[in-house]
C-alpha cells in the first residue's frame, strides 16, 4: 500500500524531481521473533540512468584483534581500534559500480567496500592499517553486516526501479541512512538520502528498557524469576 501511494505520488509529482526512493517498511521493528529481514526499496529516476544505493548503519569505534601464537598458545595479540566504523554497510547498483562512475567519485561518496576509509586511533604503520582494515571488512562480511557483492537494482519500467536489502538477525540497532545516487554517463545528476531506524519493539523493547533504566529492579526480577520457576517445577513435578 505504502509503495502504491508512493508510486502514485511520484507519477503526479512535477517533472523536476529526478530521483526519489521509498522503502517497504519505514522503520525496522525488532520483536522477540526477529530473525533477520529483507527490505524492499523502490525508487523512480527521471530520466533513466545508473543507480547506486548505499545503506549505512550506526557508526561505532571498532577494535580489530589479531590472535598470535605465544609459546604454543593462540592468544589475543595486536589490536587496532578504528574510529566511527559503519556497523552495517550494504550497496546495490544497476550495473557494476566501476562502470557507473570514476574511482574518484566512488571514493568521494564511499561507494563500494574498496572506497571505505578506516581511520585508526593513534599512529599506526600503513602496512598494519591495510592488514587490519582488510580483516575488519572480512569479519563484517562473515557476520553478514557488510555486503559481499553489490545487490542488483532492477528497473521495472523506464523510471521505476527496485532492489532488496538483506538485514541479518544480528543487525546493529540505531539510525541508518539510505542514500540513492543517479548517474548518467558517469556524471552524478541527483542524490537523495532517506533516514531509517532499527529499534526493538514490544517485549524485546520492554526488556531492553527495563534492563537499562531500572538495572537493580531488573536484576532482582531475574532472580525472582529463577526462584519462582524452580519452586513451580518442584510443586508440579513433586513425587508422591
> Shortest distance, CB of residue 170 to another protein, whole angstroms?
5
61 part of the interface to another protein, by CB under 8 A: yes
Cβ 33 vs Cβ 140: under 8 Å:
no
Q: Which residues of 25-57 are buried (b: 16+ CB within 10 A; e: fewer)?
A: eeebbbeeebeebebebbbbbbebbbbbbbbbb
Among 63, 187, 193, 197, binds another protein (CB under 8 A): 63
- How many of the other CB atoms lie within 10 Å of CB of 89? 20
The interface region with another protein, picked from 81-89, 122-130, 149-157, 184-192 by CB under 8 A, is 81-89
Among 17, 116, 189, 211, binds another protein (CB under 8 A): 211
Four-point Cα dihedral 120, 123, 128, 134, nearest 10: 10
Among 17, 129, 173, 188, binds another protein (CB under 8 A): 173
Residue 16, CB half-sphere, CA atoms under 13 Å: how many? 0
- How many of the other CB atoms lie within 10 Å of CB of 162? 16
129 part of the interface to another protein, by CB under 8 A: no
Among 5, 98, 156, 227, binds another protein (CB under 8 A): 227
> Shortest distance, CB of residue 128 to another protein, whole angstroms?
12
**Subset of residues 190 to 209 that bind another protein, contact rule: CB under 8 A:** 200, 203-205, 207-208
Of the pair 195, 215, the CB lying nearest another protein is at: 215
> Shortest distance, CB of residue 230 to another protein, whole angstroms?
4
The interface region with another protein, picked from 8-16, 43-51, 147-155, 229-237 by CB under 8 A, is 229-237
Which pairing describes strands 187-200 and 27-30: parallel, antiparallel, or unpaired? parallel
Among 13, 32, 40, 108, binds another protein (CB under 8 A): 32
- How many of the other CB atoms lie within 10 Å of CB of 87? 19
119 part of the interface to another protein, by CB under 8 A: no
136 part of the interface to another protein, by CB under 8 A: yes
Q: Enter the C-alpha cell of residue 61.
A: 569505534
Q: Enter the C-alpha cell of residue 223.
A: 532472580
Amino acid at each position: 500500500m505504502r509503495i502504491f501511494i508512493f508510486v502514485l505520488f511520484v507519477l503526479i509529482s512535477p517533472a523536476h524531481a529526478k530521483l526519489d526512493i521509498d522503502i517497504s517498511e519505514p522503520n525496522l521493528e525488532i520483536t522477540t521473533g526477529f530473525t533477520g529481514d529483507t527490505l524492499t526499496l523502490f525508487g523512480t529516476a527521471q530520466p533513466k540512468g545508473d543507480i547506486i544505493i548505499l545503506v549505512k548503519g550506526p557508526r561505532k569505534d571498532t577494535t580489530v584483534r589479531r590472535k598470535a601464537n605465544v609459546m604454543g598458545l593462540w592468544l589475543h595479540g595486536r589490536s587496532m581500534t578504528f574510529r566511527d566504523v559503519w556497523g552495517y554497510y550494504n550497496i546495490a547498483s544497476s550495473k557494476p559500480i566501476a562502470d557507473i562512475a570514476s574511482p574518484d567519485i566512488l571514493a568521494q561518496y564511499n561507494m563500494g567496500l574498496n572506497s571505505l576509509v578506516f581511520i585508526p586511533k593513534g599512529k599506526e604503520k600503513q602496512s598494519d592499517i591495510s592488514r587490519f582494515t582488510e580483516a575488519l571488512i572480512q569479519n563484517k562480511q562473515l557476520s553478514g553486516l557488510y555486503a559481499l557483492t553489490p545487490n542488483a537494482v532492477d528497473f521495472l519500467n523506464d523510471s521505476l526501479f527496485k532492489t532488496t536489502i538483506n538485514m541479518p538477525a544480528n543487525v546493529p540497532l540505531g539510525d541508518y541512512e539510505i542514500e540513492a545516487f543517479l548517474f548518467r554517463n558517469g556524471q552524478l545528476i541527483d542524490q537523495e538520502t532517506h533516514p531509517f531506524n532499527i529499534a526493538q519493539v514490544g517485549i524485546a523493547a520492554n526488556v531492553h528498557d527495563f534492563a537499562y533504566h531500572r538495572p537493580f529492579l531488573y536484576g532482582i526480577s531475574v532472580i525472582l524469576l529463577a526462584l519462582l520457576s524452580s519452586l513451580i517445577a518442584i510443586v508440579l513435578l513433586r513425587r508422591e
